[in-house]
């Protein structure tokens, strides 16, 4: 364990802990933009600077490992000034169109501007202009709003192991883009959207569907597969407009493209709401009650089994069911029906 | 005719650009024509040698007859027949072409260690290096010293890194040696991205084996078996000579397995950089070798702990490495006896700008700035006044005339707001505008910023925008304070040395030449008459001969006048290109 002092308070943390993590254990609030505990430290935004006794320049808390006897200061007039300058630099190259931005009310940059009282800007100057719209079906990429925290690049490489995007160009013109600046063509897991601290990356499906203040959050489990990722449904006036996932869940906030973007069917009028039965040969599928449907299934099972034996029946289960459901399913077939004809869609 | 004739043709990049290849071929041809075929190989050898620093005088040719050396300057291929006939055959030097006193002054005041053999030996022949005791340093280390003793020796020498930061080399090695690992690496930093710098290139072009030997010594000291030279692809000659030298070193058993019959294995790979200034920064350089985007990362961990492929790595500059064979051969005390109290040895500088003797120089640390500029550099061109010298390239600062006696070493340069950097030295005179100079350097750093961190990515852009508007006469009263605020905050918050030092030119010019900024902002005037938007071009009537040159040169049709009568410039039409000023033979166009 390493002993150090942060803002006058003693703390003991395991070797390899960063100053930022140690400070957070003490509930100290150090602003960050490029840090994500699930990704490797980056040190790009420079907001998390702190002072170390005996070190002439401030250092970034997110990249600096603790050392024995370290004396850290996380708040000072100079630090406030420097952080404010950094945010002011970012805002001097930002569209500042929060009134029409999807992320308004849920944007780290906006929040920082608010807390640091940045209405005017000493540095107004040239802004990056990226007019081309990315025609991919899922992710709206407004790179003028990008603050180059590279979280998207890192999540795509480090977590998703896809590497569909990276930084291109240098300096002021540095830009996150797919190879050759083509339209994004990737897995569309949307992890990049989930980590983006600004309005640079948003989902096309939830564009202009509702303001943050009107959103109701419902915690639930993704129905797509047996993994059971925790998801949060965002709904406005009883309509689901977006799916997200919290970091402190078993899936650490990561989702796949289906879980994240495949929810629109919920609002579709033609989606299945009751069982359907075809009552006559070549006739239409007609709505029925669950009692009627289940009754029909059990009587047909009984009939087939009696006439042709249990092996005339087989069960095909789904990857969307949980382990427990699949277990009950095969048990039913083996013991109640009496056949080993059991299979699963995930085999193919 | 003597039996002992040696001809050395300067074939650094400067020499080749001035026609070194042709001169060399002409010597071969002329000697053969003169019927000296047999003698060409035996008695009269023509050698290519690397740069000897005085590039402005290329092609430089040494003719040594019985070890009496005559140096010729500005030699072209068509001058060779006369040299062969009169000097080589006739035995009488061609006085008209012999270098003058200034050539000797330029060299005599220098103290050459790293450059001692550059320009003297054939860089493409390992035997030439062996003849001047080459590879004796590594042999001595291998046969007489333990790795720890080598590190002690380098520590005792006081050698500090020549790549910019000036970190003690022995200490760096000691950290790396202390880290246990199955693999370690030595990297030679030959990225040299500063505008106007050509020190490292000249060393590799002129004496590549010294760098290879230095890397071997470092590898032995820290326990590395693999090395990389990271060199920019824009240095084709250096790369070619390096490859030649590497294969010769392998053939002679100085690289490879079981070197000098010991258990020491070491070999070197060459990695070409694509020409990004930031890739000279050690962590960015390592990322680039690994095939990633060349962006710096936060330190710690330092490369000595986690470097290339995550393994302990020593990364040193070309010049640092080229000093090592000498330190090992001649001893730590010898090296420590050169230089100043705190900075030992010598430093190579690329001396450029408004100075008479432009070129590559090597001087002892601590030499007064004045000696460099006046004694070696020959003073300012023309009769203009010295204004300042910019050291450390785009990361450094301007040193004004009041510090002309400053002893040049790491500590003193920092004290006056500049730095050693890698050794660029640009001399400025009264015709240089300091706002414009700082804008020039900012243009460079701004476009070379990698974009990873906010203050450098956006901050340098904003600094440049403010400087630009000042030079265009659109500066605001508050701009100097704004520049200072930005510059200091960028220094304090940037991730790597590029951003940390990029504001230095702005800070040092404001510190020493604030009045020039004020003149631009308050009076809309550029005192050095450089910033075009602030200039007015006028014809002085009584000097004008009415020749009409300016009228024809003006692209904007702003000049009117009849032949043989004074001309007139309409300032409302003038686009301030300065064409009239440049063409007027009678100096009757003035700008102010
Ligand atoms: C922006 C930047 C550019 C640099 N460029 C070079 C370079 O071209 N050559 C070099 O040797 N060091 C360069 N350095 C310094 C290296 O990071 C490193 O300190 C040096 O190579 C270490 O070698 P030394 O100890 O022998 O000086 C640069 C540093 C920065 C921040
Ligand atoms: S959607 Fe997923 S795969 Fe596509 S760029 Fe974003 S993180 Fe990478
Ligand atoms: S798009 Fe978002 S996550 Fe990616 S670098 Fe820009 S701000 Fe960061
Ligand atoms: S200081 Fe500049 S060059 Fe260095 S990491 Fe930051 S953006 Fe890149
Ligand atoms: S959070 Fe540490 S630098 Fe961005």
pLDDT digits (tens, 9 = 90+) for B386-395: 999 999 888 8
Cα–Cα separations (whole angstroms), residue B175 to B302, B303, B312: 10, 10, 9
Instruction: Say yes or no: A245 and A290 in one domain.
Output: no
| Subunit contact A170:B293, Cβ cutoff 8 A | no
Residue A44 lies in a domain: yes
Distance of residue B154 Cα from the nearest chain A Cα, in angstroms? 27
Q: Which chain B residue lies closest to A42 (C-alpha atoms)?
A: B297
Residue A99 lies in a domain: no
Q: How far is the CA of A139 from the centre of ligand 3 (A)?
A: 13
Instruction: Say yes or no: A342 and A283 in one domain.
Output: no
Query: Which residues of chain B does CATH 3.30.70.20 include?
Result: 535-591
Q: ipTM of this model?
A: 0.90
A&B contacts, CB < 8 Å: 105
Would you state the structure tokens that stand for residue B190, as one six-digit string? 């030959």
What average pLDDT does the segment A271-283 reach?
Answer: 93
Residue A29 lies in a domain: yes
Residue A173 lies in a domain: no
Whether residue A306 has pLDDT greater than 70: yes
| Subunit contact A172:B446, Cβ cutoff 8 A | yes
Quick one: which of B294, B278, B277 has its CA closest to B286?
Answer: B294
Query: Which residues of chain B does CATH 1.20.1440.230 include?
Result: 434-522
- Can you give the pLDDT at residue B39? 54
In ligand 1, the atom with minimum distance to the C-alpha of B162 is 27
| Ligand 1 pocket: which of B233, B275, B281 to mutate (most atoms within 8 A of CB) | B281
Average pLDDT along chain B: 93
Interface of B with A in 443-462 (CB under 8 A): 446-462
pLDDT per residue as tens digits for the range A72-116:
999 999 999 999 999 999 999 999 999 999 999 999 999 999 999
Quick one: which of B163, B173, B244 has its CA closest to B209?
Answer: B244
Whether residue B315 has pLDDT greater than 90: yes
Task: Band the pLDDT of B42: cuts 50, 70, 90.
Answer: low
Distance CA A133, CA A113 (A): 27
Domain B535-591 sits in CATH 3.30.450.20: no
Does A171 touch chain B if contact means CB atoms closer than 8 Å?
Answer: yes
Average pLDDT along chain A: 95
CATH of residue A52: 3.10.20.740
For β-strands A2-6 and A71-73, DSSP reports them as: parallel
Are the CB atoms for A142 and A97 separated by under 8 Å?
no
Please tell me if the CB atom of residue A44 comes closer than 6 angstroms to any atom of ligand 5: yes
What average pLDDT does the segment B148-159 reach?
Answer: 98
Does A60 touch chain B if contact means CB atoms closer than 8 Å?
Answer: yes
Instruction: Say yes or no: A257 and A290 in one domain.
Output: no
What average pLDDT does the segment B422-428 reach?
Answer: 89
Instruction: Say yes or no: A343 and A329 in one domain.
Output: yes
Q: How far is the CA of A139 from the centre of ligand 2 (A)?
A: 9
Distance CA B287, CA B303 (A): 11
| Total of domains in chain A | 4
Would you state the structure tokens that stand for residue B60, as one six-digit string? 């430089």
Task: Band the pLDDT of B40: cuts 50, 70, 90.
Answer: low
Residues in chain B within 8 Å Cβ distance of A89 = 454-455, 458-459, 462
Instruction: Say yes or no: A32 and A44 in one domain.
Output: yes
Instruction: Say yes or no: A299 and A347 in one domain.
Output: no
| Subunit contact A170:B295, Cβ cutoff 8 A | no
Closest residue to B493, CB basis, from A41, A49, A90 = A49
What average pLDDT does the segment B9-25 reach?
Answer: 87
Whether residue B405 has pLDDT greater than 90: yes
Q: What is the CATH number of domain B5-99?
A: 3.40.30.10
For β-strands B359-364 and B367-368, DSSP reports them as: unpaired
What CATH topology corresponds to B126-336? Answer: Rossmann fold (3.40.50)
Closest residue to A89, CB basis, from B293, B298, B454 = B454
The matching CATH number, chosen from 1.20.1440.230, 1.10.1370.30, 1.10.10.10, 1.20.140.10, for B434-522 is: 1.20.1440.230
| Subunit contact B451:A171, Cβ cutoff 8 A | yes
Find the domain containing A343 and state its range: 309-348
pLDDT per residue as tens digits for the range A119-162:
999 999 999 999 889 999 999 999 999 999 999 999 999 999 99
Q: How far is the CA of A204 from the centre of ligand 2 (A)?
A: 14
- Can you give the pLDDT at residue B44? 66
- Can you give the pLDDT at residue A263? 93
Q: What is the CATH number of domain B346-429?
A: 3.10.20.600
Distance CA B12, CA B25 (A): 16
User: In this predicted structure, which of B175-179, B220-224, B558-562 has the lowest mean pLDDT?
Assistant: B558-562
- Can you give the pLDDT at residue A154? 98
In ligand 3, the atom with minimum distance to the C-alpha of A150 is 5
Q: What is the pTM of this model?
A: 0.90
Measured at the alpha carbon of residue A219, what is the angle toward residues A218 and A220, in degrees to the nearest 5? 115
Whether residue A348 has pLDDT greater than 60: no
Measured at the alpha carbon of residue A275, what is the angle toward residues A270 and A278, in degrees to the nearest 5? 95
Whether residue B2 has pLDDT greater than 80: no
What average pLDDT does the segment A24-47 reach?
Answer: 97
Helix, strand, coil shares of chain B, percent, nearest 5, are 45, 15, 40
Q: How remote is the C-alpha of B159 from its chain's centroid?
A: 19
Does B102 touch chain A if contact means CB atoms closer than 8 Å?
Answer: no
Q: How far is the CA of A113 from the centre of ligand 1 (A)?
A: 36
Return the percentage of chain B with pLDDT > 70, whole number: 98
pLDDT per residue as tens digits for the range A204-225:
999 999 998 999 999 999 988 8
pLDDT per residue as tens digits for the range B322-336:
999 999 999 999 999
Task: Band the pLDDT of B275: cuts 50, 70, 90.
Answer: confident
- Can you give the pLDDT at residue B261? 93
- Can you give the pLDDT at residue B1? 66
Query: Which residues of chain B does CATH 3.40.50.11540 include?
Result: 126-336
- Can you give the pLDDT at residue B292? 94
- Can you give the pLDDT at residue B382? 84
- Can you give the pLDDT at residue B153? 98
Whether residue B38 has pLDDT greater than 70: no
pLDDT per residue as tens digits for the range A327-336:
999 999 999 9
- Which residues contact ligand 4 via a Cβ below 6 A? B 278, 296, 449-453, 456-457, 494-496, 498-499
Using H for helix, E for strand and C for coil, what is the string for chain A?
CEEEEECCEEEEECCCCEHHHHHHHCCCCCCCCCCCCCCCCCCCCCCCEEEECCCCCCEECCCCECCCCCEEECCCHHHHHHHHHHHHHHHHCCCCCHHHCCCCCCCHHHHHHHHCCCCCCCCCCCCCCCCCCCCCCCEEECHHHCCCCCHHHHHHHHHCCCCCCEEECCHHHCEEECHHHCCCCCCCCCHHHHHCCCCCEEECCCCCCCCHHHCEEEEEECCCCCCCCEEEEEEECCEEEEEECCCCCCCCCCCCHHHHHCCHHHHCCCCCCCCEEECCCCCCEEECCHHHHHHHHHHHHHHHHHHHCHHHCCEEECCCCCHHHHHHHHHHHHHHHCCCCEEEHHHC
Whether residue A56 has pLDDT greater than 60: yes
pLDDT per residue as tens digits for the range B517-554:
999 999 999 999 999 889 989 999 989 999 999 999 99
Interface of A with B in 36-55 (CB under 8 A): 41, 43-46, 49
Query: Which residues of chain B does CATH 3.10.20.600 include?
Result: 346-429
Helix axes B460-471, B434-448, angle to 10 degrees: 150
């Amino acid at each position: 364990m390493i002993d150090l002092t942060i803002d006058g308070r003693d703390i003991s943390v395991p070797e390899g802990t960063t100053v930022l993590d140690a400070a957070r254990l003490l509930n100290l609030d150090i602003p960050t933009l490029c840090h994500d505990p699930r990704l490797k430290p980056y040190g790009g935004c420079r907001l998390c600077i702190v002072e170390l006794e005996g070190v002439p320049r401030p250092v970034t808390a997110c990249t600096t490992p603790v050392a024995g006897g370290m004396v850290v200061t996380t708040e000072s007039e100079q630090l406030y000034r420097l952080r404010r300058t950094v945010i002011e630099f970012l805002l001097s190259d930002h569209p500042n169109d929060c009134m029409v931005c999807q992320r308004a009310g849920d944007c780290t940059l906006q929040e920082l501007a608010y807390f640091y009282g940045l209405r005017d800007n000493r540095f107004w100057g040239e802004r990056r202009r990226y007019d081309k719209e990315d025609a991919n079906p899922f992710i709206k990429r407004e790179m003028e709003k990008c603050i180059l925290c590279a979280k998207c690049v890192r999540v795509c490489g480090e977590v998703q192991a896809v590497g569909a995007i990276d930084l291109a160009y240098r300096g002021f013109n540095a830009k996150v883009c797919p190879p050759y600046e083509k339209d994004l063509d990737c897995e569309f897991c949307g992890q990049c959207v989930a980590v983006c601290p600004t309005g640079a990356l948003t989902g096309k499906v939830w564009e202009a569907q509702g303001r943050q203040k009107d959103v109701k959050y419902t915690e639930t489990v993704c129905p797509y597969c047996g993994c059971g990722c925790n998801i949060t449904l965002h709904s406005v006036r009883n309509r689901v407009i977006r799916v997200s996932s919290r970091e402190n869940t078993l899936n650490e906030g990561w989702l796949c493209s289906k879980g994240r973007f495949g929810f629109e069917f919920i609002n579709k009028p033609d989606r299945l709401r009751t069982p359907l039965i075809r009552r006559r040969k070549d006739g239409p599928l007609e709505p029925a009650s669950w009692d009627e449907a289940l009754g029909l299934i059990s009587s047909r099972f009984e009939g087939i089994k009696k006439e042709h034996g249990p092996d005339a029946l087989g069960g095909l289960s789904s990857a969307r069911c949980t382990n427990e459901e699949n277990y009950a399913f095969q048990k039913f077939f083996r013991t109640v029906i009496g056949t080993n004809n059991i299979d699963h869609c995930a085999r193919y | 005719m003597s039996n002992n004739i040696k001809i050395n043709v300067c074939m650094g990049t400067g020499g080749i650009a001035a026609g070194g290849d042709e001169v060399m071929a002409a010597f071969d041809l002329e000697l053969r024509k003169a019927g000296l075929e047999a003698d060409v190989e035996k008695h009269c050898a023509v050698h290519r040698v690397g740069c000897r620093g005085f590039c402005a005088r290329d092609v430089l040719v040494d003719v040594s007859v019985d070890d009496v050396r005559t140096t010729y300057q500005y030699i072209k291929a068509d001058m060779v027949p006369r040299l062969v006939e009169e000097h080589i055959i006739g035995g009488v030097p061609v006085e008209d072409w012999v270098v003058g006193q200034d050539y000797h002054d330029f060299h005599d005041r220098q103290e050459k260690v790293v450059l001692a053999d550059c320009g003297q030996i054939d860089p493409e022949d390992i035997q030439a290096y062996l003849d001047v005791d080459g590879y004796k340093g590594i042999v001595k280390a291998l046969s007489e010293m333990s790795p720890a003793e080598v590190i002690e020796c380098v520590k005792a020498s006081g050698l500090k890194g020549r790549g910019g930061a000036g970190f003690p080399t022995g200490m760096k090695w000691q950290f790396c040696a202390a880290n246990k690992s199955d693999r370690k690496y030595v990297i030679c930093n030959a990225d040299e991205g500063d505008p106007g710098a050509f020190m490292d290139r000249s060393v590799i072009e002129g004496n590549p084996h010294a760098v290879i030997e230095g890397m071997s010594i470092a590898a032995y000291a820290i326990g590395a078996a693999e090395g990389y030279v990271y060199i920019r692809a824009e240095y084709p000659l250096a790369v070619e000579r390096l490859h030649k030298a590497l294969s010769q070193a392998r053939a002679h058993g100085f690289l490879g397995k079981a070197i000098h019959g010991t258990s020491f294995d070491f070999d070197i790979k060459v990695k070409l950089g694509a020409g990004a200034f930031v890739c000279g920064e050690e962590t960015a350089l390592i990322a680039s070798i690994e095939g990633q985007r060349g962006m710096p990362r936060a330190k710690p961990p330092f490369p000595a702990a986690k470097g290339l492929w995550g393994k302990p790595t020593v990364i040193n500059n070309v010049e640092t490495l080229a000093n090592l064979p000498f330190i090992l051969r001649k001893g730590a005390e010898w090296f420590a006896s050169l230089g100043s109290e705190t900075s030992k040895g010598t430093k190579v500088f690329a001396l450029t700008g408004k100075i008479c003797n432009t070129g590559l120089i090597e001087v002892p640390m601590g030499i007064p700035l004045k000696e460099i500029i006046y004694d070696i550099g020959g003073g300012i061109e023309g009769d203009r006044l010295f204004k300042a010298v910019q050291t450390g390239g785009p990361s450094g600062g301007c040193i004004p005339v009041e510090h002309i006696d400053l002893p040049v070493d790491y500590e003193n340069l920092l004290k006056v707001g500049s730095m050693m950097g890698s050794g660029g030295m640009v001399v400025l005179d009264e015709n240089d505008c300091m706002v414009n100079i700082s804008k020039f350097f900012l243009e460079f750093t701004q476009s070379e910023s990698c974009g990873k961190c906010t203050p450098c990515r956006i901050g340098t852009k904003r600094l440049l925008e403010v400087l630009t508007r000042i030079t265009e006469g659109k500066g605001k009263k508050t701009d100097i304070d704004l520049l200072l605020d930005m510059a200091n905050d960028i220094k304090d918050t940037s991730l790597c040395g590029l951003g940390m030092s990029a504001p230095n030119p702005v800070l040092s010019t404001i510190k020493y030449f604030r009045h020039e900024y004020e003149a631009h902002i308050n009076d809309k005037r550029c005192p050095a008459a450089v910033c075009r938007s602030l200039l007015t071009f006028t014809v002085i009537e009584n000097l004008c001969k009415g020749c009409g040159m300016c009228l024809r040169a003006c692209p904007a049709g702003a000049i009117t006048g009849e032949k043989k009568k004074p001309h007139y410039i309409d300032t409302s039409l003038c686009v301030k290109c300065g064409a009239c000023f440049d063409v007027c033979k009678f100096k009757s166009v003035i700008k102010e």
